[in-house]
Amino acid sequence: MTELNVTETSGTAPVLNGDTAVVDVADGRKLTLTYPGPLAQYELVLAIGNEAAENTRFVNMCLPLIYLSAIDETPVHLPTTLLQVKALIGRLGHKGLAALTKGIKLFDDKEDREAAKK
């Protein structure tokens, strides 16, 4: 099976402010990411249902959605059904998903820096 890798190189550098990041999408949109609470990933797994949750690759592809809190300052709520998950992925598109991944990396880098200080 072919794996899709999406990259986005245009836009301004993403900004991390505490537990929130704002990332530009190549198509002009802005995504707001918020560090998710401990239940977010469990709620997403419940939303996609038992059958889809058994597909580890699919779950891993969906998990970035738990960080998304707004698109162009319009709040985005965590999907509660598989159809809503698919709709949000479609709404983001390739460029939005690439920007989301870039924003999540900011949180990962922050955690790495904090761990290195200990």
Instruction: Give me the residue spans of the domains in the chain.
Output: 15-117
Distance CA 36, CA 68 (A): 9
pTM beyond 0.85: no
Give, for all 118 residues of the chain, the pLDDT tens digit.
445 444 444 556 777 778 899 999 999 999 999 999 989 999 999 999 999 999 999 999 999 999 999 999 999 999 999 999 999 999 999 999 999 999 999 887 766 676 677 7
Tokens of 8: 């986005």
Q: Is 3 exposed, middle or buried (0-12, 13-18, 19+ CB in 10 A)?
A: exposed
CATH number of 15-117: 3.30.2220
Nearest Cα residue to 74 out of 94, 91, 90:
91
